[in-house]
Structure 1
Amino acid sequence: MSAPDTQHIVCPHCHTTNRVSAAQRAQAPDCGKCHQPLFTGQPVALDEAGFAKHVSRSEVPVLVDFWAPWCGPCRMMAPQFEAAARELEPHFRLVKVNTEEAQQLAAQLQIRSIPTLALFKGGREVARQPGAMGAADIVRWACSQA
Protein backbone atom coordinates (compact mmCIF):
# COMPACT_ATOMS: atom_id res chain seq x y z
CA MET A 1 0.00 0.00 0.00
CA SER A 2 1.31 3.43 -0.85
CA ALA A 3 1.66 6.21 1.70
CA PRO A 4 -1.09 8.85 1.68
CA ASP A 5 1.08 11.37 -0.17
CA THR A 6 2.03 8.88 -2.90
CA GLN A 7 0.00 7.22 -5.61
CA HIS A 8 0.53 4.31 -7.93
CA ILE A 9 0.60 5.50 -11.55
CA VAL A 10 0.69 3.08 -14.48
CA CYS A 11 3.05 4.14 -17.26
CA PRO A 12 1.22 4.86 -20.55
CA HIS A 13 4.19 3.47 -22.51
CA CYS A 14 5.36 0.23 -20.83
CA HIS A 15 2.44 -0.24 -18.39
CA THR A 16 4.74 -0.55 -15.35
CA THR A 17 3.25 0.60 -12.06
CA ASN A 18 5.23 3.49 -10.52
CA ARG A 19 4.93 4.96 -7.02
CA VAL A 20 4.82 8.75 -7.37
CA SER A 21 4.62 11.40 -4.66
CA ALA A 22 2.37 14.44 -5.00
CA ALA A 23 5.47 16.63 -5.37
CA GLN A 24 6.85 14.41 -8.15
CA ARG A 25 3.49 14.40 -9.96
CA ALA A 26 3.60 18.19 -10.18
CA GLN A 27 7.08 18.00 -11.79
CA ALA A 28 6.27 15.76 -14.80
CA PRO A 29 7.71 12.45 -13.52
CA ASP A 30 9.20 9.75 -15.74
CA CYS A 31 8.65 5.99 -15.52
CA GLY A 32 11.25 4.19 -13.43
CA LYS A 33 11.49 1.39 -16.00
CA CYS A 34 11.27 2.94 -19.50
CA HIS A 35 12.12 6.55 -18.49
CA GLN A 36 9.26 7.95 -20.62
CA PRO A 37 6.91 10.63 -19.18
CA LEU A 38 4.15 9.24 -16.97
CA PHE A 39 1.83 12.01 -18.15
CA THR A 40 1.81 13.15 -21.75
CA GLY A 41 -1.34 15.27 -21.92
CA GLN A 42 -2.66 12.82 -24.53
CA PRO A 43 -5.18 9.99 -24.21
CA VAL A 44 -3.63 6.53 -24.04
CA ALA A 45 -4.94 3.91 -26.49
CA LEU A 46 -5.40 0.63 -24.61
CA ASP A 47 -6.26 -2.94 -25.48
CA GLU A 48 -8.10 -5.20 -23.02
CA ALA A 49 -4.97 -6.18 -21.06
CA GLY A 50 -3.75 -2.57 -20.83
CA PHE A 51 -7.20 -1.44 -19.74
CA ALA A 52 -7.27 -4.04 -16.95
CA LYS A 53 -3.84 -2.99 -15.70
CA HIS A 54 -4.53 0.76 -15.73
CA VAL A 55 -7.95 0.44 -14.09
CA SER A 56 -6.86 -2.05 -11.43
CA ARG A 57 -3.46 -0.58 -10.49
CA SER A 58 -3.64 3.17 -11.05
CA GLU A 59 -4.63 5.25 -8.04
CA VAL A 60 -5.66 8.24 -10.16
CA PRO A 61 -9.15 8.09 -11.67
CA VAL A 62 -9.18 6.59 -15.17
CA LEU A 63 -11.53 8.27 -17.66
CA VAL A 64 -12.25 5.99 -20.62
CA ASP A 65 -13.60 6.93 -24.03
CA PHE A 66 -15.19 3.83 -25.57
CA TRP A 67 -15.26 4.48 -29.33
CA ALA A 68 -15.04 2.90 -32.79
CA PRO A 69 -13.33 4.15 -35.97
CA TRP A 70 -16.54 4.02 -38.04
CA CYS A 71 -18.48 6.18 -35.53
CA GLY A 72 -18.95 9.79 -36.73
CA PRO A 73 -19.70 11.24 -33.26
CA CYS A 74 -16.65 9.38 -31.90
CA ARG A 75 -14.41 10.98 -34.51
CA MET A 76 -15.95 14.40 -33.75
CA MET A 77 -15.31 13.95 -30.02
CA ALA A 78 -11.69 12.72 -30.38
CA PRO A 79 -10.06 16.19 -30.46
CA GLN A 80 -12.30 17.28 -27.57
CA PHE A 81 -11.15 14.28 -25.52
CA GLU A 82 -7.53 15.15 -26.37
CA ALA A 83 -8.09 18.74 -25.18
CA ALA A 84 -9.65 17.41 -21.96
CA ALA A 85 -6.57 15.18 -21.41
CA ARG A 86 -4.31 18.24 -21.53
CA GLU A 87 -6.42 19.86 -18.83
CA LEU A 88 -7.15 16.87 -16.58
CA GLU A 89 -3.74 15.21 -16.35
CA PRO A 90 -2.07 14.44 -13.93
CA HIS A 91 -5.21 14.27 -11.77
CA PHE A 92 -6.85 11.79 -14.17
CA ARG A 93 -5.57 9.26 -16.70
CA LEU A 94 -7.52 9.55 -19.98
CA VAL A 95 -7.64 6.46 -22.15
CA LYS A 96 -9.35 5.33 -25.34
CA VAL A 97 -10.66 1.83 -25.93
CA ASN A 98 -11.61 0.86 -29.49
CA THR A 99 -14.73 -1.31 -29.06
CA GLU A 100 -14.11 -2.97 -32.43
CA GLU A 101 -10.77 -4.30 -31.16
CA ALA A 102 -11.89 -4.90 -27.55
CA GLN A 103 -15.28 -6.48 -28.21
CA GLN A 104 -15.11 -8.78 -25.19
CA LEU A 105 -14.41 -5.87 -22.85
CA ALA A 106 -17.20 -3.78 -24.38
CA ALA A 107 -19.62 -6.68 -23.92
CA GLN A 108 -18.45 -7.33 -20.36
CA LEU A 109 -18.96 -3.66 -19.44
CA GLN A 110 -22.26 -3.53 -21.35
CA ILE A 111 -21.22 -0.64 -23.58
CA ARG A 112 -24.44 -0.19 -25.56
CA SER A 113 -23.69 3.01 -27.48
CA ILE A 114 -20.61 4.91 -28.52
CA PRO A 115 -19.06 7.19 -27.73
CA THR A 116 -19.45 6.40 -24.03
CA LEU A 117 -17.33 7.89 -21.27
CA ALA A 118 -16.81 5.82 -18.14
CA LEU A 119 -14.93 6.84 -15.02
CA PHE A 120 -13.10 4.21 -12.96
CA LYS A 121 -11.73 4.67 -9.44
CA GLY A 122 -10.18 1.97 -7.31
CA GLY A 123 -10.76 -0.61 -10.02
CA ARG A 124 -14.50 0.00 -10.25
CA GLU A 125 -16.71 2.00 -12.58
CA VAL A 126 -18.20 4.93 -10.68
CA ALA A 127 -19.90 6.92 -13.47
CA ARG A 128 -20.92 6.62 -17.12
CA GLN A 129 -22.01 9.17 -19.72
CA PRO A 130 -23.08 8.19 -23.25
CA GLY A 131 -22.86 10.58 -26.20
CA ALA A 132 -20.37 13.04 -27.64
CA MET A 133 -19.27 15.95 -25.47
CA GLY A 134 -17.10 19.03 -25.85
CA ALA A 135 -13.83 19.41 -23.93
CA ALA A 136 -15.27 21.75 -21.29
CA ASP A 137 -18.19 19.39 -20.69
CA ILE A 138 -15.85 16.38 -20.40
CA VAL A 139 -13.70 18.23 -17.84
CA ARG A 140 -16.74 19.45 -15.90
CA TRP A 141 -18.35 15.98 -15.90
CA ALA A 142 -15.14 14.17 -14.85
CA CYS A 143 -14.43 16.62 -12.03
CA SER A 144 -18.00 16.40 -10.76
CA GLN A 145 -17.76 12.60 -10.58
CA ALA A 146 -14.33 12.39 -8.93
Structure 2
Amino acid sequence: MTRFVLTVILLPPHWVLVLVGTVVLLAFGLVADLLRYGPGGSCRGPSCGTGGDAEFYRARAHEALAKQTRAAASTRNGPVPPWNCAIPVRKYRAVGAGYVLRIAEEQGWALRQDRYSDLPHELRLRYVADESAARAEAG
Protein backbone atom coordinates (compact mmCIF):
# COMPACT_ATOMS: atom_id res chain seq x y z
CA MET A 1 0.00 0.00 0.00
CA THR A 2 2.81 2.41 0.86
CA ARG A 3 4.52 1.72 -2.46
CA PHE A 4 1.26 2.46 -4.28
CA VAL A 5 0.81 5.79 -2.45
CA LEU A 6 4.39 6.84 -3.19
CA THR A 7 4.30 5.76 -6.82
CA VAL A 8 0.86 6.86 -7.91
CA ILE A 9 -0.05 9.78 -5.66
CA LEU A 10 3.15 11.56 -4.56
CA LEU A 11 5.63 10.98 -7.41
CA PRO A 12 3.72 12.64 -10.31
CA PRO A 13 3.18 15.97 -8.45
CA HIS A 14 6.83 15.87 -7.38
CA TRP A 15 8.00 15.55 -11.00
CA VAL A 16 5.60 18.29 -12.09
CA LEU A 17 7.09 20.61 -9.45
CA VAL A 18 10.63 19.75 -10.54
CA LEU A 19 9.75 20.40 -14.19
CA VAL A 20 8.03 23.71 -13.38
CA GLY A 21 11.01 24.81 -11.26
CA THR A 22 13.42 24.02 -14.08
CA VAL A 23 11.34 25.96 -16.60
CA VAL A 24 11.11 28.95 -14.24
CA LEU A 25 14.89 28.98 -13.70
CA LEU A 26 15.58 28.78 -17.44
CA ALA A 27 13.13 31.60 -18.14
CA PHE A 28 14.69 33.75 -15.42
CA GLY A 29 18.17 33.11 -16.86
CA LEU A 30 17.00 33.99 -20.37
CA VAL A 31 15.42 37.27 -19.23
CA ALA A 32 18.51 38.15 -17.18
CA ASP A 33 20.78 37.56 -20.19
CA LEU A 34 18.56 39.63 -22.45
CA LEU A 35 18.62 42.53 -20.00
CA ARG A 36 22.37 42.24 -19.53
CA TYR A 37 23.33 42.00 -23.21
CA GLY A 38 20.46 43.96 -24.69
CA PRO A 39 20.78 47.40 -26.23
CA GLY A 40 23.04 49.43 -23.96
CA GLY A 41 22.92 46.82 -21.20
CA SER A 42 26.52 45.70 -21.24
CA CYS A 43 28.31 48.95 -22.04
CA ARG A 44 27.92 51.97 -19.79
CA GLY A 45 29.89 55.14 -19.16
CA PRO A 46 32.10 57.38 -21.27
CA SER A 47 34.33 54.52 -22.42
CA CYS A 48 31.40 52.74 -24.12
CA GLY A 49 32.33 51.92 -27.67
CA THR A 50 35.98 52.95 -27.38
CA GLY A 51 37.31 49.42 -26.91
CA GLY A 52 41.06 49.74 -27.19
CA ASP A 53 41.20 53.32 -28.49
CA ALA A 54 44.57 54.46 -27.17
CA GLU A 55 43.99 58.16 -27.90
CA PHE A 56 40.82 58.17 -25.80
CA TYR A 57 42.65 56.62 -22.84
CA ARG A 58 45.70 58.88 -23.27
CA ALA A 59 43.41 61.90 -23.00
CA ARG A 60 41.71 60.43 -19.91
CA ALA A 61 45.08 59.71 -18.26
CA HIS A 62 46.34 63.24 -18.98
CA GLU A 63 43.10 64.70 -17.63
CA ALA A 64 43.26 62.64 -14.41
CA LEU A 65 46.91 63.57 -13.80
CA ALA A 66 46.33 67.25 -14.57
CA LYS A 67 43.45 67.35 -12.08
CA GLN A 68 45.58 65.75 -9.35
CA THR A 69 48.56 67.99 -10.17
CA ARG A 70 46.41 71.14 -9.92
CA ALA A 71 45.13 69.99 -6.54
CA ALA A 72 48.61 69.09 -5.26
CA ALA A 73 50.30 72.25 -6.52
CA SER A 74 47.68 74.67 -5.24
CA THR A 75 48.86 77.15 -2.64
CA ARG A 76 48.21 76.10 0.94
CA ASN A 77 49.17 77.75 4.20
CA GLY A 78 51.23 75.95 6.83
CA PRO A 79 52.98 72.61 6.56
CA VAL A 80 51.79 70.63 3.58
CA PRO A 81 51.49 66.88 4.01
CA PRO A 82 52.67 64.72 1.14
CA TRP A 83 50.04 64.55 -1.59
CA ASN A 84 49.07 61.04 -2.63
CA CYS A 85 46.70 59.92 -5.34
CA ALA A 86 45.52 56.75 -7.02
CA ILE A 87 44.76 56.68 -10.74
CA PRO A 88 42.22 53.91 -11.41
CA VAL A 89 42.83 51.48 -14.26
CA ARG A 90 39.67 52.63 -16.04
CA LYS A 91 41.51 55.89 -16.81
CA TYR A 92 44.49 54.26 -18.58
CA ARG A 93 43.31 50.80 -19.66
CA ALA A 94 44.54 50.84 -23.30
CA VAL A 95 47.82 52.74 -22.77
CA GLY A 96 49.21 50.90 -19.75
CA ALA A 97 50.60 51.87 -16.37
CA GLY A 98 54.07 52.55 -17.82
CA TYR A 99 52.74 55.35 -20.00
CA VAL A 100 50.89 56.91 -17.07
CA LEU A 101 53.99 56.69 -14.88
CA ARG A 102 56.12 58.33 -17.58
CA ILE A 103 53.78 61.30 -17.98
CA ALA A 104 53.33 61.48 -14.20
CA GLU A 105 57.08 61.76 -13.65
CA GLU A 106 57.15 64.67 -16.10
CA GLN A 107 54.58 66.46 -13.92
CA GLY A 108 56.42 65.84 -10.63
CA TRP A 109 54.91 62.54 -9.48
CA ALA A 110 56.61 59.32 -8.38
CA LEU A 111 55.46 55.87 -7.38
CA ARG A 112 54.49 55.63 -3.74
CA GLN A 113 57.15 53.81 -1.74
CA ASP A 114 55.05 53.18 1.37
CA ARG A 115 52.32 51.21 -0.44
CA TYR A 116 52.62 49.05 -3.52
CA SER A 117 50.44 49.85 -6.51
CA ASP A 118 47.66 47.40 -7.14
CA LEU A 119 48.14 47.43 -10.92
CA PRO A 120 45.00 45.47 -11.83
CA HIS A 121 43.00 48.20 -10.05
CA GLU A 122 44.99 51.42 -9.65
CA LEU A 123 48.37 53.16 -9.85
CA ARG A 124 49.37 54.85 -6.57
CA LEU A 125 51.47 58.00 -6.88
CA ARG A 126 52.86 60.72 -4.62
CA TYR A 127 53.63 64.32 -5.53
CA VAL A 128 57.37 65.04 -5.20
CA ALA A 129 57.76 68.31 -7.09
CA ASP A 130 57.60 70.28 -3.81
CA GLU A 131 60.23 67.99 -2.23
CA SER A 132 62.68 68.39 -5.14
CA ALA A 133 62.19 72.18 -5.12
CA ALA A 134 62.82 72.31 -1.37
CA ARG A 135 66.00 70.19 -1.78
CA ALA A 136 67.20 72.48 -4.58
CA GLU A 137 66.71 75.58 -2.39
CA ALA A 138 68.47 73.94 0.58
CA GLY A 139 71.36 72.50 -1.46
Identify the structure with the greater helix proportion. Answer: 2
Identify the structure with the greater strand proportion. Answer: 1
Question: TM over 0.5, yes or no?
Answer: no
Answer with 1 or 2: which has the greater Rg: 2
Normalising by structure 1, what TM-score?
0.22
Q: Which has the higher contact order (CA 8 A, sep 6+)?
A: 1
